[in-house]
C-alpha cells in the first residue's frame, strides 16, 4: 500500500520540486497540496494522509499549535517539519508537540525520502546536521516522560493496558491484571477481543480497526469480560490511540473499569422498580375490589333497606290521617332522594356496567357521568373490534382512564373531550383528545392528581402491563394522551 503524503508549502515551485522527488518512489503518493496554514488541519482530517510535510515558515502557522491540531485531527499522520533554523530548543519542542521529523531545508532533497521511510516505521528523524545537538536533550526528555508514564501506568487504580496495532495486549498494569484475575505473563500476545463474549468480539475488532485507521478518536464499550477463572465480570473499556515514548510503533491504550458492583446495583434497582410497579398494580386492584365490595353492600344492604322503608312509608300514608299526610309525604320524598343518591354513589364506586358489559361500555358510562357532572361534551368512540382482556386488566384500565379524564377536565377546562378506543394489531389504544388549555403533563411525571397517585403512577402501572403512556401537548391545540397496552397480558 502506497504511503499517502500531504505537501504543505506556500510556494508552488518548491512543492513541484518536492513532488518530482517523491514521484520517483513507486510506493509514495502525494494526495494533497496545501499553500496556507489554515487548510493544513482541515485537509489532514479529510484526506487522512500517512505523512504531512509541513513548511514551518508557511503563512498562517502560529507556533506549535498547528502540529497539535494535525495530530488531533489525523492521529495516524506523521508530521515532518521543514525549516531553515536549527535551534535545538525549538527542534525539541517541535518533536514534543507530536511531530516525527525535523529537516533543515538545506538538506531536504537528500533527506526527505529517508525521513518519510523512517517515520513510517515509527522512528524519529532529525537532519544529520542537528542530530548531535538534539539527541542528548531529546533523550533526557524521553527518559523523563517514560518515568512519568511508568509511574502513572503502574500506580493507577484503573486497569490500563498497552495494545499493539493488532489489539494484542502488550502489557497490563497491576489493576488491569487484578480486574481480570491474570498475571502479567498470562496476558501477553492475547487479543482484546478474546476477553469479551463471542457475540461481542467482532464488533470489538471493528471498533479497534477504525481507531487504528484514524476514523475515530476513541471508543468505549460496556460488556462482560472473561476472567481467568472463567467467570464473567462487567467492565467499561475505553480505548484511545497512544504513542509510546520508548518503543517503536503505534499503540493504543485501553482503560478498563470494573463496573460489576454498578451493574449489580442497577439490577437491584430494576428489581426494586419492578416490585414497586407490582405493588402499585396490586394497590389499584385492591382498591377496585374494595370499591366493588362497598358498592355491592350499598346496593344489597343499604339500598334494600331504604327501598323497604319507602314501601312501608307508602303503606303508612294510605292509612294515615289528613293531618299526617303532609309530613309523611316529605319523609317519603326524602327517602326517594336518599335512594337515588345511594344508587348514584354505588355506580360511582364501582360501575356494574364495567363488570357486566366490559371495558368499552364502562368508559361510555363514565363519559356520560362526567358530561353530566361538568357540563361539557364528552364523546366516546369505540371501534367495537374484539379486545381480549382479563377482567382485572379491564378494571385497571378503567381506573387509569378515569384518573386521566379527571386530570384533563379539571386542569385544561375543555369544552369538548373525545375518547377513542381502538385496536391496533395486538395492542389496545385509548386516546384522549381535548380542546382546552395546553397541559404540560410531561414536565413533572410525579405530579399528583386528586384521582390517583399521579401520572408517574399511571406510567409505572402501564409499564408493568407491558404498555406505555404518551403525552402530546401544544399551545392552542389542547392535549392528547394515549395509553397503549398489549391485548394478551
Question: Cα–Cα distance between 225 and 172 in angstroms, integer?
Answer: 15
Do 231 and 303 share a domain, yes or no? no
As to burial, measured by CB atoms within 10 angstroms (0-12 exposed, 13-18 middle, 19+ buried), residue 428 is: buried
Do 101 and 123 share a domain, yes or no? yes
pLDDT in tens, 123-162: 888 887 676 666 656 556 655 666 667 777 777 777 888 8
Predicted pLDDT at 195: 82
Do 416 and 445 share a domain, yes or no? yes
The enclosing domain of 59 has a CATH number of: 3.40.50.2300
Do 35 and 144 share a domain, yes or no? yes
Do 434 and 363 share a domain, yes or no? yes
Do 79 and 128 share a domain, yes or no? yes
Question: Cα–Cα distance between 140 and 104 in angstroms, integer?
Answer: 23
Do 79 and 188 share a domain, yes or no? no
Do 300 and 245 share a domain, yes or no? no
**Is the predicted pLDDT of residue 244 greater than 90, yes or no?**
no
**Is the predicted pLDDT of residue 7 greater than 90, yes or no?**
yes
Residues spanned by the domain of 227: 156-258
- Last residue of some domain: 350, 384, 407? 350
Do 24 and 115 share a domain, yes or no? yes
Predicted pLDDT at 242: 75
Coil, helix or strand for 386?
coil
Do 238 and 213 share a domain, yes or no? yes
Where does the pLDDT of residue 250 fall: very low under 50, low under 70, confident under 90, or very high at 90 and above? low
Where does the pLDDT of residue 24 fall: very low under 50, low under 70, confident under 90, or very high at 90 and above? very high
The enclosing domain of 183 has a CATH number of: 3.30.450.20
Is residue 251 within 8 Å of residue 164, measured between CB atoms? yes
Predicted pLDDT at 387: 84
Question: Cα–Cα distance between 203 and 208 in angstroms, integer?
Answer: 9
Structural domain tally of the chain?
4
The enclosing domain of 461 has a CATH number of: 3.30.565.10
Do 319 and 445 share a domain, yes or no? no
- Last residue of some domain: 350, 380, 406? 350
pLDDT in tens, 376-417: 899 999 988 888 888 888 888 888 888 888 888 887 788 889
- Last residue of some domain: 350, 373, 397? 350
Question: Cα–Cα distance between 354 and 178 in angstroms, integer?
Answer: 62
Predicted pLDDT at 25: 92
pLDDT in tens, 289-320: 787 788 777 777 787 888 888 888 888 888 87
Do 124 and 164 share a domain, yes or no? no
DSSP state of 129: H
Block residue for cell numbers 498547528:
66
Average pLDDT, the chain: 82
Amino acid at each position: 500500500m502506497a504511503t499517502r503524503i500531504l505537501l504543505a508549502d506556500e510556494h508552488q515551485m518548491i512543492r513541484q520540486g518536492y513532488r518530482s522527488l517523491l514521484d520517483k518512489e513507486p510506493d509514495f503518493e502525494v494526495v494533497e497540496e496545501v499553500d496556507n496554514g489554515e487548510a493544513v488541519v482541515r485537509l489532514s482530517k479529510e484526506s487522512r494522509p500517512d505523512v504531512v510535510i509541513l513548511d514551518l515558515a508557511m503563512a498562517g502557522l502560529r507556533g506549535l499549535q498547528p502540529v497539535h491540531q494535525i495530530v488531533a485531527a489525523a492521529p495516524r499522520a506523521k508530521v515532518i517539519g521543514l525549516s531553515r533554523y536549527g535551534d535545538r530548543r525549538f527542534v525539541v519542542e517541535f518533536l514534543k508537540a507530536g511531530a516525527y521529523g525535523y529537516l533543515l531545508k538545506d538538506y531536504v532533497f537528500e533527506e526527505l525520502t529517508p525521513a518519510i521511510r523512517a517515520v513510517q516505521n515509527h522512528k524519529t528523524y532529525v537532519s544529520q546536521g542537528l542530530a548531535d545537538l538534539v539527541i542528548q536533550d531529546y533523550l533526557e526528555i524521553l527518559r523523563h516522560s517514560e518515568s512519568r508514564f511508568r509511574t502513572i501506568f503502574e500506580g493507577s487504580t484503573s486497569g490500563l493496558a498497552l495494545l499493539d496495532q493488532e489489539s494484542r495486549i502488550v502489557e497490563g498494569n497491576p489493576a488491569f491484571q487484578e480486574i481480570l484475575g491474570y498475571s502479567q505473563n498470562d496476558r501477553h500476545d492475547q487479543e482484546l477481543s478474546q476477553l469479551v463474549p463471542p457475540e461481542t468480539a467482532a464488533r470489538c475488532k471493528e471498533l479497534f480497526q477504525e481507531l487504528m485507521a484514524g476514523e475515530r478518536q476513541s471508543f468505549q464499550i460496556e460488556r462482560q469480560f472473561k476472567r481467568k477463572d472463567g467467570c464473567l465480570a462487567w467492565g467499561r473499556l475505553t480505548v484511545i490511540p497512544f504513542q509510546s515514548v520508548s518503543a517503536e510503533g503505534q499503540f493504543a491504550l485501553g482503560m478498563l473499569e470494573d463496573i460489576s458492583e454498578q451493574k449489580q446495583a442497577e439490577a437491584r434497582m430494576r428489581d426494586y422498580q419492578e416490585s414497586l410497579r407490582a405493588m402499585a398494580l396490586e394497590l389499584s386492584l385492591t382498591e377496585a375490589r374494595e370499591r366493588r365490595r362497598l358498592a355491592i353492600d350499598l346496593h344489597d344492604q343499604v339500598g334494600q333497606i331504604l327501598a323497604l322503608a319507602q314501601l312501608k312509608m307508602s303503606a303508612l300514608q294510605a292509612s294515615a290521617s289528613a293531618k299526617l299526610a303532609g309530613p309523611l309525604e316529605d319523609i317519603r320524598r326524602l327517602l326517594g332522594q336518599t335512594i337515588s343518591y345511594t344508587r348514584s354513589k354505588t355506580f360511582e364506586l364501582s360501575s356494574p356496567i364495567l363488570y357486566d358489559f366490559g371495558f368499552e361500555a364502562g368508559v361510555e358510562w363514565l363519559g356520560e357521568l362526567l358530561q353530566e357532572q361538568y357540563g361539557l361534551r364528552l364523546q366516546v368512540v369505540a371501534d367495537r373490534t374484539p379486545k381480549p382482556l382479563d377482567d382485572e386488566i379491564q378494571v385497571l384500565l378503567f381506573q387509569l382512564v378515569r384518573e386521566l379524564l379527571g386530570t384533563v377536565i379539571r386542569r385544561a377546562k375543555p369544552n369538548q373531550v373525545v375518547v377513542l378506543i381502538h385496536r391496533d394489531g395486538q395492542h389496545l389504544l385509548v386516546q384522549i383528545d381535548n380542546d382546552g388549555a395546553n397541559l404540560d403533563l410531561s414536565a413533572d411525571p410525579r405530579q399528583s392528581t386528586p384521582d390517583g397517585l399521579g401520572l408517574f403512577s399511571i406510567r409505572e402501572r402501564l409499564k408493568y402491563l407491558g404498555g406505555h403512556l404518551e403525552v402530546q401537548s401544544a399551545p392552542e391545540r389542547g392535549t392528547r394522551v394515549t395509553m397503549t397496552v398489549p391485548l394478551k397480558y
